[in-house]
Structure 1
Amino acid sequence: MRNVTLTDIFLHPSAQKYLDRSGLVHAISTAYHAFSLAKEHGVNPDLATKAALLHDVGHYTWYTNGQWDYSLYKENDIHAIKGAERAHKLLIELGEDPRKAKEIALAILLHTDSYLPQGQLQLLPLQRVVALADEADEEPGGLHHYRKLDKSTALNRIKNLDRLVDAHYETQNLKHSV
């Protein structure tokens, strides 16, 4: 059973603010990729979709002369750190299990290594799924953050993804009860 749904997250005013800032279409697309990848890799799809939906909520917009400056962003970015903190706070506020909120926050923290010194991280399966889901939706120059979608369509997509996650759990429960 899920304490917090993707719809609960999406409708929260803080999530609305940060999802709009970081790219709502990218967040939703990444969550759908995470759902598929989670099933493929044996990862909890509830945690994966939540982490993927919230993975970029730490973005700060970097502008030069009123224009988005991708190189300035890449040079100064720490969005994964800020996003992990924001997501954790939001999830706890909404009533998420604290252990799950921590797992989700860590997946957000480690979805990119753009802010880390050279070297490779050894990611846990959930963290790997969220990183792969993010990569699956990226566009050159950060353009994936600027695709637009109206709120009604976005909410319908989120609700559909909630139904998919719930259906996955129902299927798993049927398998275990046989």
Structure 2
Amino acid sequence: MASRWAGIRRGGAAVVLLLLTGCGVSIPADPQGTLERVSGGELRVGISHQPPWTDITGSEAPSGIEVDLVEEFAGAIDAEVAWTPGGEEQLMMQLQEDQLDMIVGGFTDSSPWTSHAALTTPYVETKGLDGSTAKHVMATVMGENEFTTTLEQFLLDQDVRL
């Protein structure tokens, strides 16, 4: 009897998947259309100071490892980067209020901001002076899965070395 119900559930799941495919629903999706909006447009990026990942000192343009990665990603989707410097808390609030598309600032996968942002898959690991491993990520708007997976794929295709 249990195997009969399992077969019915699998069949039902297959029907739902076929219906969604037939309706033109793509997975992953961006409910707010972030990837579509920024491609060929403006990529709004929050940046906090965390050398060597990000450096926003002085009157010059931002620099650092993650700044270079964001600029390359923007080029890959034909977007112009609009940088917004600030503290992490301020930037996370702007991300939640849809004023930013992503944030960089040397975040790791142990970031306390997981309730405020979607964190990418780690794209590089570093070793601390104490021998601990840090897995570096970037923060994006929650629920904008197509944008996040496109960024993740870009990051994973890079050869980031320190």
Q: TM-score, normalised by structure 1?
A: 0.28
Point out the structure with max Rg over C-alpha: 2
Structure with greater strand share of residues = 2
Structure with greater helix share of residues = 1
Q: TM-score, normalised by structure 2?
A: 0.30
